[in-house]
Amino acid sequence: DRLYRYLEYKSFSAYAFEHRCGLSNGYLGKQFRGKGNIGSGVLEKIKSHFPDLNIHWLVTGQGTMTTNLYATE
């Protein structure tokens, strides 16, 4: 799952991610098991708390995982 790849990249636990985004405990596990869909409201929360995550990549798998918004090079 792409979101879990991003969390591993950022060294974030699912719990910490859920807490930061204001999601219920176990939300990601439910999504991973295919028992729910990530809606636009949740995507907006994710984007506001993790601006380097490429939402297009998250949804479609196309492009790169992160954006270059905060690149210092």
**Each residue's pLDDT tens digit, 15-45:** 999 999 999 998 888 887 876 678 899 999 9
pLDDT of residue 68: 74
* Cα–Cα dist 41/17, whole Å: 15
42, amino acid identity = V
Is the Cβ–Cβ distance between 6 and 56 less than 8 Å?
no
State the DSSP string of 8-38.
HHHT--HHHHHHHHTPPTTHHHHHHTTS---
pLDDT of residue 70: 56
Q: Is the pLDDT of residue 73 over 70?
A: no
37 three-class SS: coil
